[in-house]
Amino acid sequence: MQNQAGKNRAVSLLSGGLDSSTLLSYVLSKGYEVIALSFDYGQRHTRELDSARKIASYYGVKHKIMKLDLRAIGGSALTGDIEVPDVPMEDIGKEIPVTYVPARNTILLSIALGLAEVTDSSKIFIGANALDYSGYPDCRPEYFDSINKTFNLATKKTVEGGSIEVEAPLLRYSKADIVRLANRLKTPLELTWSCYNGKERACGVCDSCKLRLKGFMEAGLEDPVEYESYPDFYSDYIKNRR
């Protein structure tokens, strides 16, 4: 039988980016006892992991960083020697980009499933988004429907009558919706990092930066993170705003 504590315990995936940090704020607001789970999987840089540490510390939650080697698989601009392209805003999401990491969400969620079972957590939260996103196949609603069916067959806990459910509360949110939610929950967005390049300042060129800035613009807010440069649409927005 699942204990009472387990019903309110959750594993929340935390990359340190806008979506996962807002998600953590949201999960905490729902009263869950949270274990934040991050991954050092051989990505281009660890700048986002630094943000994850700061976010977890800010909220005072338990934080695990699991080390993997997805670079051994490669096949992505985030885990291999492939340049991150400058994709025009209007083309983002039209095809699966080179920043897609093969099977990443399936691998990370499988590890989260193990942690959820061991810690008697009833939920695994992930900040996946299927509206303003780069076109990754493992961020679609049908993917999460399928993986929940698989996970319910995969563990001792679920076979014995307990439950572990993967939830993606931000799945149908636009980036502007996510920024508004973060603002409402007072998520420390100045600590977050979304850029695919791990420099001192965000590049403002990669599709992750562009989608983030588009979200802030459409939410009527300014991104507190520093950028090397802004795309034209955001530069124009800032000029008009000020």
User: What single-letter amino acid sits at 189?
Assistant: L
Q: In what order do the strands lie in the sheet with 33-40?
A: 62-67, 33-40, 9-13, 123-125, 165-167
Query: Is residue 169 predicted with pLDDT exceeding 90?
Result: yes
Delineate the domains of the chain, giving CATH numbers in brackets.
Answer: 4-189 (3.40.50.620)
Rounded Cα distance between 222 and 238, Å, is 8
pLDDT digits (tens, 9 = 90+) for 40-67: 987 878 899 999 999 999 999 999 999 9
**Is there a contact between 206 and 230 (Cβ–Cβ < 8 Å)?**
no
In this predicted structure, what is the pLDDT of residue 135?
A: 67
pLDDT digits (tens, 9 = 90+) for 109-153: 999 999 999 999 999 999 998 876 556 788 888 999 999 999 998
Q: What is the mean pLDDT of the chain?
A: 88
